[in-house]
């Protein structure tokens, strides 16, 4: 992109993620060993989970299952355990794929490993589907060191998470910002909610990646085209998907035959 559009790109992380302390974990009153499966959405929570177990001298049983949002997270588990397909499952990175995978293991009692802040949609959906789970915060997002950064030096900011938006506001406010591009619905919602004008966003059908979104934006700038601010459009398909999964689970519950124990 830098060669195509003759621009300079500077990588400055607005945030860093840290694992919680054992004291912070215990304050949540969650017992790891009462669960039969752990849901991981990031490698940071994997690190924190096993560090907590080591520090608290918790021996995770061989029977524990692991549900991961992506293959990359699943493979990262090899750092701590022997990789076995029968106890490690992974989705393709999408929300719907992860929910479908979790439903396949609906008889498990899940420990949902989260970072703070996090998108509420996953725990909310598990609650709507009436699955047995406990959320636990295993990592926290904190602001990075940006003391030497000056907004006037940049023509475009690329923000990848609501935490990026929060740090931007805390460090620089919302006045006099360069053009802003965001990735993800949560980031877009946070930016618009803070009164920030967003001129490029991803993923969309036209721009599945941030690189493509910025590429399209720069092409419009170079052509002198007027760029309309991005507006938030609710994805009705996600709500429909959740309702369909609720219906399927309810139907299976009604048609399930009684067990021998229940007949007694």
Asked if pLDDT for residue 7 goes beyond 70, the answer is yes
Residues 99-118 pLDDT 10s: 999 999 999 999 999 998 88
Q: What is the mean pLDDT of residues 159-183?
A: 92
Asked if pLDDT for residue 147 goes beyond 50, the answer is yes
**pLDDT score at 126:** 95
Structure-model confidence comparison of residues 21 and 260, the more confident one: 21
Task: Return d(Cα 123, Cα 1) in angstroms, integer.
Answer: 37
**pLDDT score at 65:** 96
Query: What CA–CA distances, in Å, run from 184 to 17, 136, 193, 227?
Result: 18, 23, 14, 19
Q: Which of 255, 253, 258 is nearest to 130 (CA)?
A: 253
pLDDT band at residue 52 under the 50/70/90 scheme: very high
**pLDDT score at 29:** 96
Torsion sign (Cα): 211, 156, 95, 137: positive
97 CB neighbour count, 10 Å cutoff? 14
In the block, residue with structure tokens 């790109």 = 9
**pLDDT score at 111:** 98
The domain spans of the chain are 16-142, 146-223
16 CB neighbour count, 10 Å cutoff? 13
**pLDDT score at 238:** 62
Q: Is it true that 16-142 and 146-223 share their CATH fold?
A: yes
**pLDDT score at 263:** 47
The class level of CATH for 16-142 reads alpha beta
Please give the CATH architecture assigned to the domain spanning 146-223. Answer: 3-Layer(aba) Sandwich (3.40)
Asked if pLDDT for residue 71 goes beyond 60, the answer is yes
What tokens were used for 166?
């929060």
**pLDDT score at 118:** 84
Query: What CA–CA distances, in Å, run from 145 to 125, 142, 181?
Result: 35, 10, 21
Strand-strand pairing, 200-202 and 110-116: unpaired
């Amino acid at each position: 992109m830098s060669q195509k559009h003759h621009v300079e790109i500077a990588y400055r992380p607005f945030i860093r993620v840290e694992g919680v302390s054992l004291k912070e974990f215990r304050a949540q009153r969650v017992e790891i060993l009462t669960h039969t499966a752990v849901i991981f959405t990031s490698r940071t929570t994997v690190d924190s989970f096993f560090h907590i177990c080591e520090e608290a001298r918790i021996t995770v049983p061989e029977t524990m299952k692991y549900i991961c949002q992506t293959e990359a997270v699943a493979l990262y588990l090899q750092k701590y355990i022997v990789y076995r397909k029968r106890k490690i499952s992974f989705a393709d990175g999408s929300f719907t794929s992860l929910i479908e995978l979790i439903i396949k293991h609906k008889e498990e009692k899940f420990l949902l490993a989260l970072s703070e802040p996090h998108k509420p949609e996953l725990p909310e959906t598990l609650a709507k589907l009436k699955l047995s789970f406990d959320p636990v915060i295993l990592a926290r997002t904190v602001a990075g060191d940006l003391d030497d950064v000056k907004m006037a030096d940049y023509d475009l900011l690329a923000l990848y998470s609501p935490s990026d938006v929060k740090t931007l506001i805390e460090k620089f406010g919302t006045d006099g910002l360069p053009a802003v591009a965001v990735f993800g619905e949560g980031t877009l919602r946070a930016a618009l909610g803070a009164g920030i004008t967003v001129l490029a966003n991803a993923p969309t059908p036209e721009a599945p990646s941030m690189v493509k979104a910025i590429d399209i934006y720069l092409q419009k700038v170079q052509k002198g085209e007027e760029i309309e601010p991005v507006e938030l459009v609710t994805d009705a398909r996600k709500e429909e998907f959740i309702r369909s999964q609720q219906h399927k689970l309810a139907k299976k519950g009604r048609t399930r035959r009684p067990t021998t124990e229940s007949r007694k």
